[in-house]
Amino acid sequence: MTVNGKELKALNQIRNLAKKSFDEMKRDLGIYLHSEAKPYIKVKQENGRVTELYLQNCGLKYLPAAIGELSGLNTLRLRENYLTDLPDELERLTELEDLHLGFNKLEELPEVVGELRKLKDLFIYWNEIDKLPDSIGNLKNLEYLTAMENEIRTVPESFGNLQNLKTLNMRINCVQEIPEAICNLRALEKIDYSGNVGLTRIPENIGNLQSLKYLILWCCDSLTQVPESIGNIDSFVELNVIKTGVSNLPRSMLRLPNLEYVSFDGNREDPVAKALKEKGVEVSDCYWE
């Protein structure tokens, strides 16, 4: 089945730009780009509509406004390009569920992303983003947010609206404090703030996260304490506080019925760590993923 005329015209414009951008990148990089390197361009259609578009390793410096014509897209993957911004026309992609922007040059995530109300997966890792927009709180269907390896310092309070969020990966950013609003995310199963060396505190009410299984905080040098409320999370499986300032584990962890792994290199005589080992919990001073 062929794509309708308006979408086909937009698709051809976008594909031609991707191919041209790749040729320019190959010319500019010369010997630094493998001779057999190719752009990854893939299109999937269904019932005459474009539903998936992959433009990866194309050297794209911008995404044309024509992207707005592909309003039936549910998957858009743009990783490994040179994008510094996103067009306003992105808001027309109202069916989009999967947006992949990893390995680009984005300095900010524009407010327009908040209009993608059906979005479930958002990947923005390895960019230069220093903050998340308030509009991110509009993404009520978001389940996975991967924002590792950016320069993010703050997370907006609107984050507390992401009631379906299951995985939050903020590894290796510049965050100093996890906002209290995160304690409203009752579907959250995994939090990873590893490598945020300035992170000083975890919200006292983290025990409200009754679905939480994994709290990964290695190399958060400034962190000195894990809240006692963590002992309220029956689903909890793993804590990683390797290479942090945490010297003692909270006694409440002894109540956790499903705890399996604790990565901890603080006080070697910590009584809680010893008691957990006696209960059969794997307590190690090595990394666990």
What are the C-alpha distances in Å from 18 to residues 40, 65, 69, 197, 247?
Answer: 9, 14, 17, 38, 52
Q: Does some domain include residue 37?
A: yes
Between 183 and 289, residue with greater pLDDT = 183
Residue 266 in this model has a pLDDT that exceeds 50: yes
Residue 274 in this model has a pLDDT that exceeds 90: yes
3-state secondary structure of 92: helix
pLDDT at position 32: 56
Q: How far apart are CA 285 and CA 259, in angstroms?
A: 16
pLDDT at position 3: 76
CA Rg value for the chain: 22
For the segment 25-42, the average pLDDT, to the nearest whole number, is 73
Q: Does some domain include residue 152?
A: yes
pLDDT at position 31: 46
Residue 33 in this model has a pLDDT that exceeds 80: no
- pTM score over 0.85: yes
Q: Does some domain include residue 17?
A: yes
Contact at 8 Å (CB) between 184 and 160?
Answer: yes
Q: How far apart are CA 162 and CA 113, in angstroms?
A: 14
The total domain count for the chain is 1
- Domain of residue 144: give its range: 5-284
Q: Does some domain include residue 78?
A: yes
Would the CA dihedral through 136, 168, 251, 263 be positive or negative?
negative
Residue 114's CATH number: 3.80.10.10
Residue 120 DSSP class: -
pLDDT at position 36: 60
Q: How far apart are CA 261 and CA 282, in angstroms?
A: 5
pLDDT band (50, 70, 90) for residue 269:
very high
Residue 138 DSSP class: G
3-state secondary structure of 29: helix
pLDDT at position 258: 98
Q: Does some domain include residue 66?
A: yes
For the segment 128-137, the average pLDDT, to the nearest whole number, is 96
Give the chain's mean pLDDT: 94
User: How does 149-164 read in b/e, with b if 16+ C-beta sit within 10 Å?
Assistant: bbebeebbebbbbbee
Contact at 8 Å (CB) between 144 and 121?
Answer: yes
Q: Does some domain include residue 133?
A: yes
Please, what is the end-to-end C-alpha distance for the chain in angstroms?
44
Q: Does some domain include residue 75?
A: yes
Q: Does some domain include residue 289?
A: no
- The pLDDT tens digits for 58-87 are 999 999 999 999 999 999 999 999 999 999
Residue 91 in this model has a pLDDT that exceeds 90: yes
For the segment 193-205, the average pLDDT, to the nearest whole number, is 97
Residue 35 in this model has a pLDDT that exceeds 80: no
